[in-house]
Amino acid sequence: MIVAIDGPSGAGKSSASKAVAAQLGFACLDTGAMYRSIAWRALRDGIALDDGDALGALARTEPIDFAPGEDGGPQRVFIGGDEVTRAIRTAQIDRSVSAVSAHPQVRAALVDQQRRIGRAGDYVVEGRDIGTAVFPDAQVKVFLTASNEERARRRVAQNEARGVGSTDFKAVLADIERRDAIDSSREASPLKVADDAVVIDSSSMSFDAVVAAICDLAGERKAGR
């Protein structure tokens, strides 16, 4: 079974996905971390962010791997054997990743990897195009969103807790709005609500209520309703 959770950045997808996966006994796939890993390698290797062919070749040849977090910490991420768990959360990656993820060559390579991973078991998969492009047949599709200001507040709190990334509210809000515009207007698999997705606006919902709503949907679909 695939539970697809799409939505703009800062809507709470990561924490909701983790909690839903834990409750359902599913594994969790953070596809944003994959695009971030390609951006990290591009910056490290001096590959231009507008060179779609070179970035696509990188995405096809460098394996991205995940491992469980230590002591309840975030899931660990590796690209080509280098651990990038923290390095992909910096403000520099926040600024670069939308350009990287807009290239169809990069998307094709990562979508192949995502389908291979997701087909191996029951997964909660979070991203931007999971219900529309990666797993259009997903049994559960959720579009999780929240107001721009609420998303910026949450991203600042998350960066503070992680000790990495910007904690300046205005800068984070501007980055969120800039990324939304790029993610929604790109030609290749733009961020949009799948026709059959359930939209959850979490602006004034508690975290537990969001998790419960998604788990209820999964329970209904499992029961064939």
Torsion of CA 69, 71, 72, 77, to 10 degrees: -10
Among 16, 28, 31, 79, binds ligand DC (CB under 6 A): 31
CB 134 within 8 A of CB 114: yes
Type of residue found at 202: S
Question: What string marks each residue from 53 to 92 as x (binds ligand DC by CB under 6 A) or -?
Answer: ----------------------------------------
Between CA 117 and CA 66 the distance in angstroms is: 11
Helix (H) or strand (E) holding 141: strand 140-145
Question: What string marks each residue from 176 to 205 as x (binds ligand DC by CB under 6 A) or -?
Answer: ---x---x----------------------
72: left (phi over 0), alpha (psi -120 to 50) or beta: left
* Closest CB 127 distance from ligand DC, rounded Å: 2
Q: If DSSP codes are grouped into helix, strand and coil, which group holds residue 85?
A: coil
Judged by CB under 6 A, which stretch of 60-68, 72-80, 121-129, 146-154 contacts ligand DC? 121-129
Around 37, how many Cα atoms within 13 Å sit in the side-chain half-sphere?
A: 26
Structural tokens at position 164: 């990495």
Query: Of 21, 3, 17, 7, whose CA–CA distance to 146 is shortest?
Result: 7
Among 128, 141, 151, 154, binds ligand DC (CB under 6 A): 128
Q: Any contact of residue 175 with ligand DC (CB under 6 A)?
A: no
* Per rule CB under 6 A, count of chain residues that contact ligand DC: 14
* Closest CB 125 distance from ligand DC, rounded Å: 8
Q: Any contact of residue 32 with ligand DC (CB under 6 A)?
A: yes
Q: Any contact of residue 129 with ligand DC (CB under 6 A)?
A: yes
Indicate the residue among 196 and 220 with the shorter CB distance to ligand DC: 196
Q: Any contact of residue 40 with ligand DC (CB under 6 A)?
A: no
Structural tokens at position 41: 């390698």
Residues that bind ligand DC (CB under 6 A): 9, 31-32, 35-36, 97-98, 101, 127-130, 179, 183
